[in-house]
A and B are shown apart, each in its own frame.
Chain A
Amino acid sequence: KAGVTQTPRYLIKTRGQQVTLSCSPISGHRSVSWYQQTPGQGLQFLFEYFSETQRNKGNFPGRFSGRQFSNSRSEMNVSTLELGDSALYLCASSQNRGIGTDTQYFGPGTRLTVL
């Protein structure tokens, strides 16, 4: 079974621009979560989508948004980029069986550099 895929793998943007990142979850997984990883803050939760609805949201400004499509693929968008948005953006998918725990499987990430 193919793993979580993210595109693009690397991206360079300038301040003020916007960017869209894409994530394709593992087949059959319905929940997609996004995380931001920086050297200073570590791995931080952005938001989670299930059945095209945002279920949970972390403590990030409104410039960070996302959506999920009917095939469970997800995109996240960052508008008005700031230098501090430079990070590794990770997508994780899970089955969301709702029992016990719901293991999340991560993609390789998108490295965003804001100049």
Chain B
Amino acid sequence: LAKTTQPISMDSYEGQEVNITCSHNNIATNDYITWYQQFPSQGPRFIIQGYKTKVTNEVASLFIPADRKSSTLSLPRVSLSDTAVYYCLVGPDTGRRALTFGSGTRLQVQP
């Protein structure tokens, strides 16, 4: 399984764009990159998934360089409600069909 490395925490202010970068140097050819958001005492919520280049949905954008050894989740104009833990995952581990969560990035948005 490709291991991921993310910053432990980040701070931002309302209205700013937030970019969270994840390193995954050992990503495999068939691995996708998936980001989840989790609020306290709730289940993780799927945000976005991509394989290469750029993916955008109504919530976020995901930038993946050509070598795929890293990815950046971009949250445009964050609000207080975006305060959460964000997890970067690579997979699937087709053998185990299990998600391996790292420690995630705790994003704190201030007014």
Kindly state the separation between the CA atoms of A106 and B47 in the bound complex, as whole angstroms: 12
A100 to chain B, nearest CB (A): 7
In the complex, the answer to whether B96 meets A43 with C-beta atoms within 8 Å is no
Task: Identify which of B34, B43, B51 contacts A109 (C-beta below 8 A).
Answer: B43
Given known contacts A101-B34, A101-B91, A101-B92, is B97 in contact with A55 (CB within 8 Å)?
yes
Task: Determine the interface band of chain B, counting residues with CB < 8 A from chain A.
Answer: 20 to 34
CA A88 – CA B100 in complex, angstroms? 16
Within 8 A of B (CB), among A98-115: 100-109, 111
Knowing A45-B98, A45-B100, the reply to whether A92 touches B49 (Cβ < 8 A) is no
Size category of the binding interface on chain A: 20 to 34
Asked if A108 contacts B42 (CB within 8 A), the reply is yes
Q: Which residues of A contact B36 (CB under 8 A)?
A: 106
Question: Complex formed: what's the CA distance from A111 to B95 in Å?
Answer: 29
Question: In the assembled complex, which residues on chain A have CB atoms less than 8 Å from the CB atom of B103?
Answer: 42
The answer to whether A90 and B34 have CB atoms under 8 Å apart is: no
Main secondary structure of the interface of B (DSSP, over half): loop
CA distance A56 to B91 in the complex (A): 15
Residues of B with Cβ closer than 8 Å to A?
Answer: 32, 34, 36, 41-46, 49, 51, 87, 91-92, 95-104
Known: A4-B43, A92-B99, A101-B34. 18 other contacts (CB 8 A): A31-B97, A33-B97, A35-B99, A42-B104, A43-B87, A43-B99, A44-B101, A45-B99, A56-B95, A90-B44, A92-B43, A101-B91, A104-B99, A106-B43, A106-B44, A106-B45, A109-B42, A109-B43
| Contact sample, A vs B, 14 pairs, CB 8 Å cutoff | A33-B99, A42-B102, A42-B103, A43-B101, A56-B95, A56-B97, A58-B98, A101-B34, A101-B92, A102-B92, A105-B46, A106-B36, A108-B43, A111-B41
